[in-house]
Amino acid sequence: MPLKNPDISTSGLWRDERMEKAGFLGGLTKRSLGNMRDAQNRKRFFESLQLKGQDLKVLSQVHGTKIFEAEKGGENIFEGDGWVCRQEGIIPIVLVADCVPLFIWSRKNPIFGVFHVGWRGMAKSFAYIASTEMQRVYNVKAEELLASVGPHIGACCCEVGPEIKEFFPPEDFVVDKQKLRLDLNLEAKNQLLRTGMPENSIYLSSECTVCSPGYFSFRKGDSERMAAFITAKEGPSCRK
């Protein structure tokens, strides 16, 4: 059964209301909140959410499949593209501008993750790796997890060259007027399904960061980045 639309897009923040129901705060910042590459801008934004004093974790992203567990303390900048976490007081962040911001969290436990998945990462099955890694690290079943694929470059605008065809199944492509376009939503969903997650636990945003207003887009020439984040806002005792 398809999901009813659980996303809430405001002038500053896209979010999936299912996160809040499970005891998490998260989403994707939009253009109006400024460039999240800027550490001071990030600090101001999270303080505006009354999250002052939280431990912000940012990666040096490399379009790969490496995932780190976010823990309190330490100033190291890790090279990778995803975070998993089970501690309160930590805000794992990935930076995006057309790539897929993937959020995964538990409906039962204070377990959450956020991942930066571009076409290169998707070609390496990063959505699949993200879900299976959370299951492995925290010993949870796929049926316990929920996922949200946030706004990213849609199949409407993701024009690619024929050399990309070898990395994805034929159904991931749309051919229109001799142009080849890639559907990252479809590939993300299929990878998550292969990990055992039920289809009705996966939400796919229909917003394209290229042609929908309010987002930074690398394809349009923007050098700025948006922040995708998720954090525990309640203790595990608050979850049903």
How far apart CA 144 and CA 19 sit, in angstroms, is 13
Average pLDDT, the chain: 91
pLDDT interval class at 4 (50, 70, 90): low
Indicate if the pLDDT at residue 166 is higher than 80: yes
What percent of the chain lies above the pLDDT cut of 90? 82
**For position 2, what pLDDT does the model report?**
47
Q: What is the pLDDT of residue 73?
A: 75
Read off φ and ψ for residue 193, nearest 5 degrees: -60, -35
Query: Does position 236 have pLDDT exceeding 50, yes or no?
Result: no
Res. 240: pLDDT tops 60: no
With bands split at pLDDT 50, 70 and 90, how would you rate the model's confidence at 86? Answer: very high
What DSSP assignment string belongs to 79-134?
A: BSSEEEE--TTEEEEEEESSSEEEEEEESSSS-EEEEEE-HHHHHTTHHHHHHHHH
Q: pLDDT-based confidence at 217, cuts 50/70/90?
A: very high
Percent of all residues in the chain with a pLDDT value above 70, rounded to a whole number: 92
Judged against a pLDDT cut of 80, whether residue 192 lies above it is answered with yes
Predicted local distance difference test score (pLDDT) of residue 234:
55
Class of the 7-154+185-235 domain?
A: alpha beta
Q: Kindly tell me if the per-residue pLDDT of 85 is higher than 70.
A: yes
The whole-number pLDDT of residue 177 equals 80
